[in-house]
Amino acid sequence: MGETNESSTDETLQRSKPFSFVLCIQHFLFTFIMKIARVIFIIIYGKKGHSMSAITEPLLLESATSLAEKIRTKQLSSVKVLEAFIRRVEEVNPMFNCVVDKRFDEALKAAAEADALVASGAYTTEELLRVKPFLGVPISTKDCIAVKDFLYTAGLYARKGVRAKEDSDAMGLMRKAGAIPFCLTNVSEMCMWWESSNTLHGRTRNPYDTNRIVGGSSGGEGCIQSLAASPFGLGSDIGGSIRMPSFFTGTFGHKPSKNIVSNKGQFPMPFSSEQDSFLGIGPMCRYAVDLKPILKVISGERSNLLNLDEPVDLKKLKYYYQESDGGSRLVSPVDEDLTYSLRKVVEYLQGSTGISATKIQLDSFKQSAAIWFANMKDDSGHGFGHQLANLNGDINPIKELLKFCVGQSKHTFIGLITALVDDAQTPFGSPKYHHLVKKRNDLRSELQDLLGENGVLIYPTHPTVAPYHNEPLVRPLNFSYTGIINVLGFPATAVPLGLGAEGLPLGVQVIANFNKDRLCLAVAEELEKAFGGWVRPEVNI
């Protein structure tokens, strides 16, 4: 028996050597291509583009929570606050292209009504805090979350001119809480890519360097927050669409636990209930203090499941960290700056809490992209080509690519490539599909057991700082650092950690167990105090 096992082991090792050699060659070629591509993009764009204009109005630097308090206590008028943000939008949008629709006149009327309500004395200050916690505060959101009478295109040319007939559930709850929608922000085509650019509204540029991306699909929202042109906003996230833009723009963003915030009014809607659990509408803002009150509002009746008002003792949490996905093929290595900043976070948490953080290496993270793609499949028979057809049949991606080559397609190149790749992914119900679903379930159970009731995982939000425009085309799977968390269903908060060597934002994501969002938010607030949170981009026009 022993001889048989030894012989079998030797054969396995012999078979694995060529396979390992192939992997090494693939890794070498991928790394080489990445370096060549970076040189090409530097030649095309130059090392540094423009950054945002100076902030001269102090109230633009206030948190949404602070603005709300000053409005209800008559220290500020809602009209004055809104006018300041309108001026800021008009100042910065020509260069950064984050806003795609605005209804300033209607917003100003609502602001005047908010001021009149405060002046009437119909509610005490305490009552206003309870029933309308964001009374009079302007709010923005991305162009795929319905806001009555605003554009509702999801960046799809075929939806040009389409407007929402009613608010999404999340925006309806924010409006009920007193917030005033005043502008709409840019997205990627049908919200399915991590650069916010489309043939309808164009490309959004990074406030720290106009040559860099803002992420997607909530890229316009991340941009407007970083520019201090909106007090706070809503994004949606099915593969990192809140956390990547927040990371690239140096702001805060939170993807809630699965099935907590209603997705009704998001376009396109997921085709299955499981896909719906992967999608999360959540807050995006400059200050961590705003995350919890926004989440409390938009989670509605499910807010009680999160126990957001329950105090969090940081010294009683268990801290885990993982520095990379373990070396996934076709995924960039983690930047040295990002690894260093993650280690500084661990060092700080250990010093401030007196608790040792545990370094882990979950091997399944190496398959994050494959797991995400497989778990996004469903039995509807519809793929991304159906979405690009505005849910009316399917486009022919080959035909559209030929039209694109002669400037006749209304779709983006990456949208068409995504449709082709989607068709080639693991089929729903196949043995490989079931294998990858099991991988997800096993990883989910492993993380649930690890995190328990009071554990958090510190993990990179993305392996690199904000790439150049179009550079994601040669790094398409880098989104996997965030995407894996969506199919697992855990809450995660993107936390900024200052700027790196390239003058671009650094950060991490903080992950907790189901419905333990308050742990992520508490750690985010602590890290903001320690590392400074959002950093105003250097003025370089």
280 close to 217: Cβ distance less than 8 angstroms: no
- Residue found by looking up tokens 């100042």 in the block: 91
**470 backbone φψ class: left, alpha, beta (φ>0; ψ -120 to 50):** left
The answer to whether 8 is a known catalytic residue is no
The answer to whether 142 is a known catalytic residue is yes
> Residue 538 class from Cβ within 10 Å (0-12 exposed, 13-18 middle, 19+ buried)?
middle
> Which residue, among 256, 263, 246, has the nearest Cα to 308 in the 3D structure?
256
This prediction's pTM: 0.94
Single out the catalytic residue among 51, 188, 196, 217.
217
DSSP code for 158: G
What is residue 124's predicted lDDT score, i.e. its pLDDT? 97
**pLDDT, tens digit (0-9, with 9 covering 90-100), for 259-271:** 999 999 999 999 9
Average of per-residue pLDDT values in the chain? 94
CA dihedral sign, ordered 139, 145, 148, 150: positive
Instruction: Per-residue pLDDT tens, the chain, 541 aa: give them.
Output: 333 343 433 443 344 455 566 667 776 778 788 889 888 988 999 878 877 778 999 999 999 999 999 999 999 999 999 999 999 999 999 999 999 999 999 999 999 999 999 999 999 999 999 999 999 999 999 999 999 999 999 999 999 999 999 999 999 999 999 999 999 999 999 999 999 999 999 999 999 999 999 999 999 999 999 999 999 999 999 999 999 999 999 999 999 999 999 999 999 999 999 999 999 999 999 999 999 999 999 999 999 999 999 999 999 999 999 999 999 989 999 999 999 999 999 999 999 999 999 999 999 999 999 999 999 999 998 999 999 999 999 999 999 999 999 999 999 999 999 999 998 889 999 999 999 999 999 999 999 999 999 999 999 999 999 999 999 999 999 999 999 999 999 999 999 999 999 999 999 999 999 999 999 999 999 999 999 999 998 765 4
Residue 87's contacts (CB-CB under 8 Å, 6 or more residues apart) are: 57
Single out the catalytic residue among 142, 366, 377, 516.
142
Q: What is the DSSP string of 210-250?
A: TTB---SSSHHHHHHHHTTSSSEEEEEESSSTTHHHHHHTT
Read off φ and ψ for residue 138, nearest 5 degrees: -65, 145
Read off φ and ψ for residue 279, nearest 5 degrees: -85, 135
Single out the catalytic residue among 188, 230, 241, 409.
241
**pLDDT, tens digit (0-9, with 9 covering 90-100), for 294-343:** 999 999 999 999 999 999 999 999 999 999 999 998 999 999 999 999 99
What's domain 59-299+314-372+429-531's architecture?
A: Alpha-Beta Complex (3.90)
**pLDDT, tens digit (0-9, with 9 covering 90-100), for 432-447:** 999 999 999 999 999 9
Domain range annotation of the chain: 59-299+314-372+429-531
Read off φ and ψ for residue 84, nearest 5 degrees: -65, -40
